[in-house]
A and B are shown apart, each in its own frame.
Chain A
């Protein structure tokens, strides 16, 4: 591949049509793409050319069904990096939309929304400290235990891939109001890259809430308690991300009004501490 000489704006403009039709060599394409990153006008022109090309190609017709089977069978090959990028978008309160059960917001609206809501440190930190003192910390490395969770039908291929990643841990959440209780309300699976899942697939886990309530996930980072997202009224397996706030030492789940709260005044229904 030859490296083209630097091109002027006018020279790149002349290439836009050919570029949009993939009719330039890779080196020239790279030069054009670099220019497009900083030139709104040229980027808009390429978008217009793509629309015209799309119209030329638009033959419609029904897609081959067998091809979809092939696509669906390969969805599990998603990379963990890709999952991380997407999971970063999941930390907005979505009340179950992550599982396809709620409204879907446009991409840019999702990006504009606040990533996390900071709450007071006292409530959950105190509860977590109490749990740590009285019940001890229950943290299990997955290894052989991950297989049962991976087999859960609700998990997509991407989630299964994340679970299989090295360094993934499971944090068992306990009910602080029922010290010593055998049943665990929920489990958190946390990958080394900061992607996590709240798992409530047990019959004796988090009970379904009324429609005007929601479970809310919190994380304690140092002296701060941050909201990690809404889990909905009856969460099954809900992904979240702490990639932007590493160092979460404690997770807690509270029962809140629908829409969630900035600062909780309720006792956690489940708390678990991450092994240092």
Chain B
């Protein structure tokens, strides 16, 4: 098979048949995004590299977990990347460190996360759409997604009720989706 001409879905089928070049092609297409997200959340290379490797090894071992009906391969891989990265962030040691500096960090988190989001987000339209969101919708999303926080932690950081943050994350994602669709932005890595 010509992996470079294969769709993402067909590559996953070939991965299920232990065809290593198919996994290599998946890595070529999406490895950069996976690694960048892990690096952004973990802010350190060694754990980000480990997470990246685990994401692709998981696909190798359990390709059936990807359901093309549920979305693109890239969003699947990034969701797995995010989950694994957050697991690392929330490890007990990291939690202790975070608790020690919570008060100090709360004051500076918005700046740090904003800077990282804007520095590393490539798609200008996505940046614009995020920027167009009201702060009270955007901040919870950024703190949760790029900061690896639970919505309860975000509520504490932003001094808002948990239910409010929960709703704002949901409605913010919905608004963002509508805005992106209006601008004709397709889901990332939709395959060939």
Q: A-side interface residues toward B, CB under 8 Å?
A: 13-18, 20-25, 43, 47-64, 67-68, 70-72, 74-75, 77-79, 82, 85-86, 89-90, 94, 97-108, 110, 156, 158-159, 239
Q: Which label, helix, strand, loop or mixed, suits the secondary structure of the B interface?
A: helix
Residues of B within 8 A of A74 (CB): 53, 57
* A15 and B37 form a contact (CB under 8 A): no
Inter-chain CA distance A57–B141, complex, in Å, is 12
From the candidates B12, B31, B75, name the one contacting A54 in the complex (CB within 8 A): B75
* B49, A17: Cβ atoms closer than 8 Å: no
Instruction: Quote the shortest CB–CB distance from A264 to chain B (angstroms).
Output: 25
Chain B residues with CB under 8 Å of chain A are 1, 6, 9-14, 16-24, 27-28, 30-37, 40, 49, 52-53, 56-57, 60-64, 67-72, 74-76, 78-79, 81-83, 86, 117, 120-123, 126, 130, 141, 144-145, 148-152, 154, 163, 165-167, 169-174, 176-177, 180, 185, 187-189
Q: When the two chains form their complex, are residues A59 and B82 in contact, meaning their CB atoms are under 8 A apart? A: no
Which B residues are in CB contact (< 8 Å) with A106?
A: 9-10, 13, 68
A55 to B1, CA, bound (A): 29
Q: List 27 A-B contacts (CB under 8 A).
A: A14-B163, A14-B167, A14-B170, A15-B166, A17-B166, A18-B170, A20-B79, A20-B173, A21-B141, A21-B144, A21-B145, A47-B71, A48-B177, A50-B71, A55-B180, A55-B187, A56-B126, A58-B78, A58-B126, A58-B188, A61-B36, A67-B35, A75-B23, A86-B16, A89-B16, A102-B1, A110-B13
Majority SS at the chain A contact face: helix
Once bound together, how far apart are the Cα atoms of A107 and B78, in whole Å?
21
- CA–CA, A221 to B28, complex, Å? 44
Assess the B1–A57 pair: CB atoms within 8 A: no
Q: Decide: A21 and B169 in contact? CB cutoff 8 A.
A: yes
Inter-chain CA distance A54–B166, complex, in Å, is 19
A67-B52, A71-B27, A71-B56 given; A58·B122 CB < 8 A: yes
